Amino acid sequence: MSNLPLRPGLAGDTPYGAPEMDVPARLNVNENPYPPSPAVIDDIADAVRAAATRLNRYPDREFPALRQALADYLAVESGVRVPWQQIWAANGSNEVMLHVLQAFGGPGRVCLSFTPTYSMYPEYARDTLTEYVTLARRQDFTLDVEAVRAAIVAHHPAVVILASPNNPTGTALPLEDVRAILDAARGAGPFDEDGAPTDAVVVVDEAYGEFRRPGVPSALELLADYEHLAVSRTMSKAFGMAGLRLGYLAATRALVDALRVVRLPYHLSAISQAAALAALAHREELMSQVASLRDERDATVAWLRAQGHMAFESDANFVLFGPFEDRQAVFEGLLERGVLIRVVGPDGYLRVCMGTPSQMEAFRTALTAVTRP
Ligand code: PMP
């Protein structure tokens, strides 16, 4: 016990994070299982070496070159082009979204989200003294747009977070639903200092956007129509660069400028900027595994169903399945067999993220052994 003046609200809280274990099949934090190729490693190493010659200087605070490269990537990936001033980046999309809450949340303000969803959202709210309000998703994890509209009218949230595809369920939202929520958010945010209504910021968290099935559009397509929309992305998942810590967001210039006010100076190190730029130059190669991970996911859903489990359709690189009377026992049984997955989501359910074909084989073998002793 210490006598430190811990801020109210933090007592008893522990640091967030899944277990970090060295097992043959790590399928618990939705990473890409494929390490970078020697060519990518060489280019990153060269770029970092060049950046190291200038490490006596602070990095570029505005990093236009990296923001331009991210804008170019989004244009190819989604067909939506924005100027670099409409891109923001930070150390993982976690930090990008923390910037959103720092700029728009705060005491007396509400952040609205939809459960079950990504468990860091309440932490962004806690850390910015923002009230976190949730509404339950439907049984199939889609959103009841009328209920969302009513919640927005009732709470006047400053920030609404929509994960699409959602973690841990894999559910992508139809663009009509995102549009309806953006319409509902217009004029329904908190009142400004003059008593005038504001537009609630709607963040569509597309951390798993690249894994969406063909025909599922990105919310980036709505950027031109809504000044209160921000679409968040990351290099941690499809791009296979979780260790780099590089997340980013596209929004209007006014929204990005608000994030620039709250960021710490030089938040993105020269090493991160150099490595990210070098990695983005290898976009095609790094993304080449996305199609096979999508196939692996669809095959995993089919296999789990064939085994008699319930498995939800997914537009991400993971699958939520169950229900198990004792999910902890299933988790532990898999772990004993070298397969680490995640206990998360509705009671009884587990989440497995897509690995290499041999890791998925290990998962199937272990699950069969554990559930049919
Ligand atoms: N959003 C969602 C829905 C996630 O699942 C994650 C990572 N688990 C993130 C954001 C954060 O990713 P990162 O900070 O690595 O960009």
Question: What is 25-35+288-371's CATH number, 3.40.50.10800, 3.90.1150.10, 3.40.190.10, 3.40.50.720?
Answer: 3.90.1150.10
- Cα-to-centroid distance, 94 and ligand 1 (Å): 6
Give the DSSP letter of residue 86.
G
Dist. CA 242 → ligand 1 center (Å): 9
Q: Which of 15-24, 39-48, 65-74, 278-287 is predicted with the least confidence, judged by mean pLDDT?
A: 15-24
Structure confidence by residue, pLDDT tens digits, 59-92: 999 999 999 999 999 999 999 999 999 999 999 9
Mutation to probe ligand 1, out of 27, 30, 113, 120 (largest number of atoms < 8 A from CB) = 120
pTM value > 0.90 = yes
Task: Using the atom order of ligand 1, give the atom closest to the CA of residue 246.
Answer: 16
Task: Give residues with Cβ within 8 angstroms of 204, minimum separation 6.
Answer: 162, 163, 164, 173, 178, 219, 229, 230, 231, 232
The ipTM (two decimal places) reads 0.99
Task: State the closest ligand 1 atom to the C-alpha of 236, by its place in the atom list counted from 1.
Answer: 15
Of residues 124 and 286, more confidently modeled? 124
- Per-residue pLDDT of 310-319, as tens digits, reads 999 999 999 9
If 0-12 CB within 10 Å is exposed, 13-18 middle and 19+ buried, where does residue 123 land? Answer: middle
Structure tokens, 25: 């099949």
pLDDT confidence bin for 1, thresholds 50/70/90: low
Cα–Cα distances (Å) from 123 to 9, 113, 132, 362, in that order, read 11, 12, 9, 34
Q: Where are the domains of the chain?
A: 25-35+288-371, 40-281
| CATH fold group of domain 40-281 | Aspartate Aminotransferase; domain 2 (3.40.640)
Task: Note the pLDDT tens digit of each residue in 272-281.
Answer: 999 999 999 9
Ligand 1 site, CB within 6 A: 30, 92-94, 118, 163, 167, 205, 207, 234, 236, 242, 247
